[in-house]
Amino acid sequence: MTAVHSPTAADSGASASANFRSTAREGLAVSPERVSTVVTAVLHAVHSAIREHDVTYLEFQAAKRWLMDLGEGGEWPLFLDVFVEHVVEEVAARTQDGTKGSILGPYYLPDQVSLPSVCTLPRRPDEQGDPLTFSGRVTDLAGRPLAGAELDIWHADAEGYYSGFAPGIPAGNLRGVVTTDAGGRFEITTVQPAPYQIPTDGPTGRLIDAAGWHPWRPAHLHLVVRAPGHRPITTQLYFAGGEYVDSDVAEAVKPELVLTPSGQRVSYDFVLEPA
């Protein structure tokens, strides 16, 4: 297998920050009233925590230093995606129908290779890991197949590393955009991803260690599923019985998104609502 050096928080943080800046929409229109309402609520919550827990000046200075380190290390996308995004997604889901969503996470990369409905994800010639076949359909709310729907899929390798965020892994490894056939079907051959720990040598890791938490995410497949005229779904699929499924550090696991493997095969059908 191609040698892969363990990725550092700096590797992941820099890549996540650069990717976010390149894909985030600029100039989002947020009214002053909305900014005031939300920021005031956040500040009041912080003030309440300080009062309730008698936060000392020493603790305040430690928090200030940690926040500075978080920004300087480029770890804001990592921290927010792990500890905050799942609640934003939960709020968005209140008004959505179709397949359950989940967090995007910091490891998405756009513009991956286009693949047919039956395909193998790009991988190294000596890619390690147990074979995995992932199949299913994409339909609308009435059960009608969505031909030409796209499944933008990516996942960690058998050591828990993502291409683009760890040195030594080829660009586009275990990533692709799969197009469904006339019946809305797809069948993707890949390898079983491993659980992975978020980078722990930076400020996010120091917080996790100081709090006595674990830094692990369960093995999962990432997907953005889209079709013309329908709302895209961003989600993650997990594996029943997998390690950390019941204690995901990102709190992103939902029962509806846990797959039950049959040998080396899993299946899942996606349902998209109108846009």
pTM over the 0.75 mark? yes
Domain map (residue ranges) of the chain:
8-22+29-275
Residues 30, 77: Cα–Cα separation, whole Å? 20
The pLDDT assigned to 78 comes to 87
What is the chain's pLDDT, residue by residue, as a tens digit (275 residues)? 444 445 555 555 556 666 666 666 555 678 999 999 999 999 999 999 999 999 999 999 999 999 999 999 889 988 998 899 999 999 988 999 999 999 998 899 999 999 999 999 999 999 999 999 999 999 999 999 999 999 999 999 999 999 998 889 999 999 999 999 999 999 999 999 999 998 888 999 999 999 999 999 999 999 999 999 999 999 999 999 999 999 999 999 999 999 999 999 999 999 999 99
Q: For residue 72, what are the contacts with CB-CB under 8 A and spacing of at least 6? A: none
Q: Write down the CATH superfamily of domain 8-22+29-275.
A: Aromatic compound dioxygenase (2.60.130.10)
Q: Closest by alpha carbon to 175, among 99, 120, 231, 117? A: 120
